[in-house]
């Protein structure tokens, strides 16, 4: 496989808690990979390490041929990789539109060449156009002037996706995008993600909902206690012995 993202032998411990052990993973451009595993198996930590929010203790991460394991989150987003968070927290005083606009500034930085070449006004206009387009695509236009903190949990997840997309990423990592989301909104998230993938975006999605996984993902990677125990097609999950063990073991563990 020609890897777009390659994770090699990543390890991470918090105190004495070994959360990731020798995790290696390759993802090709265009894939939609579901990242599964019991609670506490290290899924969010793996996303945090890949996207530069948590430094790994060991291992390498390569994205589109660039070593990124020593870069911080701001630099990584500029290489074309963006993410959403499991529990998005929104500033209480900013409107939905303002949050989307602020994401653009955060991604590009004040001194970015993008600003130099186009000029600040032009850059702001482009960011506003893009924010408006993304808010429309993710069904947030009716609430664009409300405080972001007043959104429902599901709408906050949609706004998290808007913020990530403001960076024009080629790869998007989503941490439980449908958990706690109303079924109607869940369908909209599925549609939005499939449209992004059809337009060329590679996706990694931490997800528990098997229906979602079967419908959306081209491959599944399963973590158990910080180790990858399976990489298979969604329809092969139910008959995978190590996957069953991971979930049954987790249920049996105190």
| Complex with ligand ADP: residue 43 or 157, whichever CB lies closer | 43
User: Any contact of residue 44 with ligand ADP (CB under 6 A)?
Assistant: yes
The site for ligand ADP, by CB under 6 A, has a size of 11
| Cα–Cα distance for residue pair 234/243, rounded to 1 Å | 11
Separation in Å, CA 180 to CA 12, 158, 183, 249 = 28, 12, 9, 25
Listed ranges 12-20, 69-77, 209-217, 238-246: which one lies at the site for ligand ADP (CB under 6 A): 12-20
Asked if 78 contacts 68 with a C-beta cutoff of 8 angstroms, the reply is no
Q: β-pairing, 58-63 with 66-67?
A: antiparallel
Q: Which value, to the nearest 10 degrees, does the dihedral of the CA atoms of residues 131, 97, 114, 82 take?
A: -70
41 makes contact with ligand ADP (CB under 6 A): yes
- Contact between 104 and ligand ADP by CB under 6 A: the answer reads no
Q: How far is the CB of 90 from ligand ADP (least distance, A)?
A: 20
Which residue intervals of the chain are DSSP H helices?
43-50, 73-78, 96-108, 113-118, 120-137, 153-165, 183-198, 210-216, 241-252
Binds ligand ADP (CB under 6 A): choice among 37, 154, 160, 177: 37
Q: Which does 39 bind (CB under 5 to 8 A by kind): ligand ADP, Mg ion, none?
A: ligand ADP
Q: CA nearest 138: which of 104, 177, 108?
A: 177
Closest to ligand ADP by CB, 27 or 135: 27
Least distance (Å) between residue 112 CB and ligand ADP:
30
43 or 108: CB nearest Mg ion: 43
Smallest separation (angstroms) from ligand ADP to the CB of 47:
8
The answer to whether residue 42 forms part of the interface with ligand ADP (CB under 6 A) is: yes
3 state DSSP class of 194: helix
Query: By CB under 6 A, is residue 39 in contact with ligand ADP?
Result: yes
Q: Give the interface with ligand ADP as residue ranges (CB under 6 A).
A: 14, 17, 19, 37, 39-45
């Amino acid at each position: 496989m020609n890897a777009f993202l390659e994770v090699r032998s990543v390890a991470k411990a918090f105190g004495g808690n070994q959360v990731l052990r020798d995790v290696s993973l390759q993802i090709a451009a265009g894939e939609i990979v579901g990242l599964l595993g019991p609670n506490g198996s290290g899924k969010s930590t793996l996303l945090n390490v890949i996207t530069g929010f948590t430094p790994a203790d060991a291992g390498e991460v390569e994205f589109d041929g660039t070593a990124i394991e020593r870069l911080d989150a701001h630099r990584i987003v500029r290489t074309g990789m963006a993410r959403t968070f499991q529990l998005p927290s929104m500033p209480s005083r900013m409107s939905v539109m303002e949050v989307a606009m602020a994401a653009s500034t955060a991604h590009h930085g004040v001194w970015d060449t993008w600003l130099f070449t186009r000029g600040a006004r032009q850059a702001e206009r482009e960011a506003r156009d893009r924010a408006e387009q993304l808010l429309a695509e993710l069904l947030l236009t009716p609430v664009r002037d409300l405080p972001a903190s007043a959104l429902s949990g599901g709408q906050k997840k949609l706004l998290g996706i808007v913020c990530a997309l403001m960076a024009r990423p080629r790869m998007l990592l989503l941490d439980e995008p449908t958990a706690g989301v109303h079924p109607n909104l869940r369908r909209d998230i599925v549609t939005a993600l499939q449209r992004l993938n059809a337009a060329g975006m590679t996706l990694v999605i931490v997800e528990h909902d098997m229906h979602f996984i079967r419908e959306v993902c081209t491959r599944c990677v399963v973590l158990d206690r910080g180790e990858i125990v399976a990489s298979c097609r969604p329809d092969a999950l139910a008959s995978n012995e190590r996957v069953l063990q991971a979930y049954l073991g987790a249920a049996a563990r105190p």
